[in-house]
Amino acid sequence: MWKSAKLMDSLSFTDRAARAIWRIVPKGTLSGAIGWGARRQLPGPLRAGLLARFASNYGIEVSEAEKPLSEYQGFDDFFTRRLRPGARPIDAGQDAVVSPADGTVVDCGTVTAGRLIQAKGVFFALSELLADEGAATRLEGGAYLITYLSPRDYHRVHSPVDGRVIGWNHVPGSLFSVNGKSVLREPGLFTRNERFVTFIQGAAGLTAVVMVAAVGVGHVTATYDEDVATHDARFVRAAVRRRVYDTPRAIARGAELGIFHLGSTTIAIFEPGKVALAPHEPGSSTRMGASMGRVL
């Protein structure tokens, strides 16, 4: 049962006002406009300076980027940048489970009674998050890690385990901001926002990696399936919400799964009895490829 009444009692007037405003803002239109602007090509002579200022404003570590700033065509091109080789070494332990993304830990725990914790005791349902009752049943009692990606973070998402991608679900939804204050203001935010779920089967059992979209996210693309570009007109018109592969697609631990075109949140959920996660305190930082647990 949602704890929304208790949550509302705890919000300040400013938070209540912000909550009311965000609920009436046309978030899809706003996100589309931001995405359109981010994809525009910047003038060559101004490119490096504008991107350097953007990086400085958000504290982005430019030295980790694969290319010099002048070689990125625009903000989206830079935002979705690859990193230089070796910038994120993948833990080499044979039984390692690695972080799928850079970011800040929102919560780490165990799925209990079909629920995960969003923040400060506010729960949301795993079956709603995944839009898949069967997968939710298999993952009941398993470990999970929620990671928020701020504008300064690397925005490619990687597989935490070795295995095979067996399919995906795309769940349309709203596009609330997913920063810390928004998470506290909006009960069940992660099951209300648009999301893209990748299912991986392997020695670690079933793993679900959820990419939760947010305001400003022009779209999510899947590296393992070129047909997936959640806000492209062709994908939207096709209205395909689920795909199960006849031939599952091999994925290595640390290999790229998908890209956020601007920022958001990842949620990794593991089958019970298959993976043990190390403790991760909310507010701590994660780095893609770093060990966050092990396959049992």
Q: What is the pLDDT of residues 136-154, one digit of tens each?
A: 999 999 999 999 999 899 9
Asked if residue 26 has pLDDT above 90, the reply is no
- Confirm whether 219 is a catalytic residue: no
- Reported confidence tier of residue 71, pLDDT bands at 50, 70, 90: very high
Q: What is the mean pLDDT of the chain?
A: 83
Annotated catalytic residue, options 76, 107, 155, 158: 158
Over the stretch 232-260, which tens digit does the pLDDT of each residue have?
A: 889 989 999 999 999 999 999 999 999 99
pLDDT(16) > 70: no
pLDDT at residue 295 tops 60 = yes
| Residue 225 annotated in active site | no
Confidence of residue 179 (pLDDT cuts 50, 70, 90): low
**How is the chain split into domains, by residue range?**
96-295
What's the mean pLDDT in 15-20? 40
Q: For this structure, is 264 an active site residue?
A: yes
- Cα end-to-end distance, the chain, whole Å: 33
The pLDDT tens digits of the residues spanning 78-104 come to 989 999 999 999 999 999 999 999 999
Higher pLDDT, 191 or 147: 147
What pTM was estimated for this model as a whole? 0.83
5 pLDDT higher than 70:
no
Which one from 127, 177, 182, 264 is the annotated catalytic residue? 264
Selected catalytic residue, list 102, 107, 132, 162: 102
From CA 79, how far away is CA 156, in angstroms rounded? 9
Contact 208, 268 (CB under 8 A): yes
Region at 2 (left for phi over 0; alpha for psi -120 to 50; beta for the rest): beta
